[in-house]
Amino acid sequence: MTTTPARAPLIAADWLRPGTHISAVGSDLPGKQELDAGVLGRADIVAADLPAVAAVNGELQHAVASGVVDLDRVVALGALAADAATGRTTEDQITVADLVGLGVQGGDRGGRGGPPARMSVP
Amino acid sequence: MPPRRCAQRCWAPRWPRSCIPPTSTAAHSAQPCRWPTWSRWRGRPGVPVIVDAAYLSFPTALISDLVGSGADLVCFSAKYFYGPNAGGFLAGRTDLIEAVTDPDFTGYESGATSRSAGRPFKMDRTTIVATVLALQEWLTMDHDARWASYGRRVLALQAALADLPGLHARPAQFTLDERLIDAAPNALVLRPGSAAAATAMEDALATGTPRLLCVREGEELVVCVETVREATTRRWPSGCGRPRRGCRERRRRPAPERSSTASRVATALREELLAGLHAPGTPMRDVGAGGARGRRGHDARGPGRVGPPWTARPRPAHRGMEVARLDAADVRDIYAARLVIEQAGLVRLRATGTTAFAPSWTPRPTWPTPRTARTAAAPWRPTPASTTSSRERPAASGWPARTRRRCSSCGSCCRSPTGPTPPSTARPPPTGHWRSRCATGTRRRPARHWRLIWTRPGNGSAPSSAPRSHRERAQTPGTLTEDRIRQAVDPAAALAAVRQGFIALHEDRVTLPAILDFEFPEHHGEAHVKGAHIHGADHWVVKAAAGFFDNPEAGLPAGSGVSLVFSASTGFSDCVLLDNGYLTDLRTAAAGALSIELLARQDAGHALIVGAGVQARLQLQALLGVRTPQDVTVFARRPQEAVRYAEEMTALLGVPVQVADDLDGRRAVPISS
């Protein structure tokens, strides 16, 4: 789990062991980077909350720019949540989730006329 | 089709008739389920695949799952989402659905004019309205709260029976395929001790008043509570400023009984039948039934034309009922039931602003007619108005009835469900309080001209400075502070919301404009403006959040932000959430937890957190909600931050957190989470 606003890679590709999962939540602007592009290249599954945005703002910006990762290969987290895409199938796979943050998640107002109990949380 | 797991991962592999019905969030397990093997039939000409999905409408995502599964026709029963017993709906190929609707109910009974092969499509417009309403409610319902309410009822019942000697009562879940399982309860299982005692108890309950019908399971009786109503007590917030005169006393007094349109029409019908004015076989067209019997205005018109054309196609040749083999009481019951459902449906469809089923005729500005307005200033409602004022309109979409009160002077000032909500508890929120003011500014009696308004601090309590018109009120959004937001939204709620958000995004049900990014390099800061609307949601939200990473050195938190909530029906701002970035942090943590839940190994034993800020803290808390690592390691570029993080999180979460002084995996700890 990487949570820093770093602008240079913190994690190198050759550190990964089989079965590792990395969730990178730090990078949300062009220029930020926590994972070396090779980390994403080595991963068997690369997921992103919104692949198109992650390719500009997230960890994927470097990997896609350098051609290490094909954007078509990146799985949307929503597809995994809706079971429309295949997630981890073996214990040895290396998986990476690149989260840049969206404006979507959320639901409705809470009932009983009280304050909004659950809002859209961008 | 490859083996799939359902959206909620809650299915046993038995399918489709004997599968374990998914019941509650708590009962969801990670068991894989096999999607039905109908793929071998797909594509074969002349072999349509029809799924009797009956009760498979929960979790609600299952409905779209089934519809999208490739079957030609999927049939759902309405009674399993609390709709009418004879209702339901179909999804699938257009030609098949049209084929089903062709032979309709009245067609068969109308004799030679349009006799059809049978009566498979028994829904009349009453049932359609009720089915659509029930489905709308089902899709927007908080199902966790629904299950929690069953649990409350079961526990209340169990507590009430605790003193009875020899009677053992245990909560259980009675599934839709009629099994008792140990999951979120919706039933109380009574064990009186012997089969004879169980029989005696069953008989006594079935013949008592009210009659209670139980399910017999061996020596046990299963009392299902899903249709039992919880007792409610209405409480006004203290200091709410309602007019004292009659405030409490009046509300406790039951409303006087008044004859409904249905009962008046039914009485007239019964008298006509007994007088021999109708021969068996005489068609009695319900559309004009009221008018033919001396009713005027809306009463006479009746709720005849409801919905789009397909719900009530004009077929004057055989529209209506026949009196053959019906006695007067039957007619009365049928009319009463039909009118009750339609009236209730119309009132609620209007209240929720649904346009798809709006009546084709223009409603009068005052409804019903002024002639009866004194005793019936609100539409007649089917429920006995013993605890609520007859002036109150039914609450819709969670808004309390008292904010929807209608002002009889202007007739328009309080119809829209916008504006701040009154507090739901006795304690008013800190940013203002409710006062009773005349909505129209005329300050006239009677009291129904008056309604609750929101008074904000700073405006004082003088009536002149309080917002008086609906427009003013709608343009003055309420405010929620961080404390209240923290009370209302916890990590579990955030995780559920984030999951639904991602699914909605994947299903393309979201309007998601581009993100606005700001950078402030001189202060090591950044800000993002994001907004979204999930289609169908009542609100859309814009959020501005900032992260200024020099702030901690000045003793300030790095993150801050504010969210603006707007009504998706009027566009007015509805609420300002002064969350100081809490919602952003919570959302990010929940997204991280979700990604780990979906992708990380089930048996992940080691977690490495890189970074030691607020997000690192929240992420670890969220992570522990979805995985149980034996050890946690933290690395931060500022070692003292990492040490502090480790101490705090060890104390807070009870999980040993070690500090790594280097990120190189070969010398420190394995990088996995």
Q: How far is A108 from chain B (nearest CA, A)?
A: 6
Q: pLDDT digits over B247-303, tens only?
A: 444 444 444 444 555 556 666 666 666 666 655 555 555 545 555 555 544 333 333
Which pair of structure tokens corresponds to residue B533?
A: 């609307």
Nearest residue on chain A to B7, alpha-carbon basis: A82
What pLDDT was estimated at residue A3? 82
Interface of A with B in 42-81 (CB under 8 A): 45, 47, 49-50, 53, 57, 76-81
Name the residue among B503, B517, B604 with its Cβ closest to that of A29.
Answer: B517
Query: Is residue B170 very low, low, confident or very high in pLDDT (cuts 50, 70, 90)?
Result: very high
Q: pLDDT digits over A31-56, tens only?
A: 788 888 888 888 888 888 878 878 88
Which pair of structure tokens corresponds to residue B111?
A: 């004799």
User: Coil, strand, or helix at residue B467?
Assistant: coil
Cross-chain residue pair B4–A83, CB shorter than 8 Å = yes
pLDDT > 70 in chain B, percent:
51
Name the residue among B587, B607, B608 with its Cβ closest to that of A121.
Answer: B587
B423 chain-A contacts, CB cut-off 8 A: 114
Q: Does B670 touch chain A (CB under 8 A)?
A: yes
Query: Is residue B68 very low, low, confident or very high in pLDDT (cuts 50, 70, 90)?
Result: confident
Give the count of beta carbons closer than 10 Å to the beta carbon of residue B69. Answer: 18
Q: Which residue has the tokens 């938190």?
A: B557
Q: Which residue has the tokens 């307005």?
A: B373
The residue with greater pLDDT, B639 or B334, is B639
CA distance B213 to B198: 13
Q: How far is B11 from chain A (nearest CA, A)?
A: 13
The residue with greater pLDDT, A99 or B472, is A99
What pLDDT was estimated at residue B312? 34
B545 chain-A contacts, CB cut-off 8 A: 122
Give the count of beta carbons closer than 10 Å to the beta carbon of residue B61. Answer: 17
Cβ atoms of B452 and B240 within 8 Å: the answer is yes
Q: pLDDT digits over B347-384, tens only?
A: 665 665 544 433 333 333 322 223 333 333 333 333 33
pLDDT surpasses 70 at B154: yes
Query: Is residue B165 very low, low, confident or very high in pLDDT (cuts 50, 70, 90)?
Result: confident
> CB-side exposure of B167: number of CA atoms within 13 Å?
17
The residue with greater pLDDT, B48 or B648, is B648
What pLDDT was estimated at residue B470? 54
pLDDT surpasses 80 at B240: no
Verify cis geometry, omega within 30 degrees of 0, for the bond prior to B280. Answer: no
- Tell me the helix, strand and coil percentages in chain B, rounded to 5: 35, 15, 50
Q: How far is A39 from chain B (nearest CA, A)?
A: 12
Instruction: Report the range of poorest mean pLDDT among B87-91, B291-295, B427-431.
Output: B427-431
Q: Does A7 touch chain B (CB under 8 A)?
A: no
**Mean local confidence (pLDDT), B626-645:** 87
CA distance A83 to B6: 7
Instruction: Report the range of poorest mean pLDDT among A26-40, A59-73, B188-202, B277-291.
Output: B277-291
pLDDT surpasses 90 at B172: yes
What pLDDT was estimated at residue B242? 47
Instruction: Report the range of poorest mean pLDDT among A8-12, A59-63, B440-444, B520-524.
Output: B440-444
Question: Which strands make up the sheet holding B606-610, listed edge to edge?
Answer: B606-610, B631-635, B657-659
CA distance B399 to B580: 27
CA distance B477 to B656: 45
Q: How far is A19 from chain B (nearest CA, A)?
A: 7
* Selected residue of B576, B610, B663 to mutate for chain A interface (largest A Cβ count, 10 A): B610
User: Coil, strand, or helix at residue B442?
Assistant: coil
How do strand A45-48 and strand A75-76 relate by DSSP bridges? parallel
pLDDT, averaged across chain B:
65
pTM over 0.90? The answer is no
Q: pLDDT digits over B531-577, tens only?
A: 888 888 888 888 888 888 888 887 787 878 888 888 888 888 888 88
Which pair of structure tokens corresponds to residue B9?
A: 């991962």
pLDDT surpasses 80 at A66: yes
pLDDT surpasses 50 at B91: yes
Interface of B with A in 645-664 (CB under 8 A): 663-664
Interface of A with B in 78-107 (CB under 8 A): 78-84, 87-88, 91, 95, 97, 99, 101-107
What pLDDT was estimated at residue B227? 76
Nearest residue on chain A to B574, alpha-carbon basis: A116
What pLDDT was estimated at residue B69? 77
Name the burial class of residue B126, with classes exposed (0-12), middle (13-18) and buried (19+) by CB atoms within 10 angstroms of its CB: buried
**Mean local confidence (pLDDT), B461-480:** 53
CA distance B116 to B107: 6
Query: Is residue B338 very low, low, confident or very high in pLDDT (cuts 50, 70, 90)?
Result: low
What pLDDT was estimated at residue B110? 52
pLDDT surpasses 80 at B114: no
What pLDDT was estimated at residue B578? 84
What pLDDT was estimated at residue B352? 56
**Mean local confidence (pLDDT), B479-508:** 82
pLDDT surpasses 60 at B208: yes
Please, where are the H alpha helices in B577-613? Answer: 582-599
CA distance B374 to B372: 6
pLDDT surpasses 90 at B171: yes
Name the residue among B421, B498, B547 with its Cβ closest to that of A105.
Answer: B498
**Mean local confidence (pLDDT), A78-101:** 85
CA distance B79 to B58: 12
Query: Is residue B345 very low, low, confident or very high in pLDDT (cuts 50, 70, 90)?
Result: low
Could you give the angle at the alpha carbon of B344 between the alpha carbons of B78 and B223, nearest 5°?
Answer: 50
Instruction: Report the range of poorest mean pLDDT among B239-253, B489-503, B646-660.
Output: B239-253
How do strand A95-98 and strand A45-48 relate by DSSP bridges? parallel
Q: How far is A85 from chain B (nearest CA, A)?
A: 10
Nearest residue on chain B to A24, alpha-carbon basis: B592
pLDDT surpasses 90 at B189: yes
* Selected residue of A7, A94, A104, A109 to mutate for chain B interface (largest B Cβ count, 10 A): A104
pLDDT, averaged across chain A:
75
